[in-house]
Amino acid sequence: MDSLELVTLALKEARIWQSAQREKGKQQTPQKGRQAPPTCHRGMETQCFVDAAWNAGTSGGGFGCIFKDTTGRTLQQCSSNRSNVSSALVAEALAVKAGLKAARLLGLRKLAIRSDSKSLIKAINTNEKIVEAQGVLFDIYQLCTSFTSVSFDFISRDFNEDADALAKAALQNLSNSV
The CATH number of residue 75's host domain is 3.30.420.10
- pLDDT recorded at residue 70: 87
pTM above 0.85, yes or no: no
- pLDDT recorded at residue 109: 94
- pLDDT recorded at residue 52: 97
- Structural domain range at position 100: 41-177
- Does 26 reside within a domain? no
- The sheet carrying 46-55 orders its strands as 74-82, 60-68, 46-55, 110-115, 149-154
Nearest partner of 175 among 77, 50, 56, 64, judged by Cα = 56
- Does 13 reside within a domain? no
What's the rounded Cα separation, in Å, for the pair 22 and 102? 28
- Does 94 reside within a domain? yes
- Does 63 reside within a domain? yes
- Does 45 reside within a domain? yes
- Does 73 reside within a domain? yes
What's the rounded Cα separation, in Å, for the pair 69 and 33? 22
- pLDDT recorded at residue 10: 59
Total domains in the chain come to: 1
Nearest partner of 100 among 150, 148, 37, 155, judged by Cα = 150
Tens digits of pLDDT across the chain (178 residues): 565 565 565 566 656 656 666 554 444 333 333 334 444 444 568 999 999 999 999 999 999 999 999 888 999 999 999 999 999 999 999 999 999 999 999 999 999 999 999 999 999 999 998 999 999 999 999 999 999 999 999 999 999 999 999 999 999 998 787 5
- pLDDT recorded at residue 41: 42
- Does 16 reside within a domain? no
- Does 152 reside within a domain? yes
CA dihedral (86, 116, 135, 11) in degrees, to 10, reads -170
DSSP string over 21-72: HHHHHHTSPPPPS--PPP-TTTTSSEEEEEEEEEETTTTEEEEEEEEE-TTS
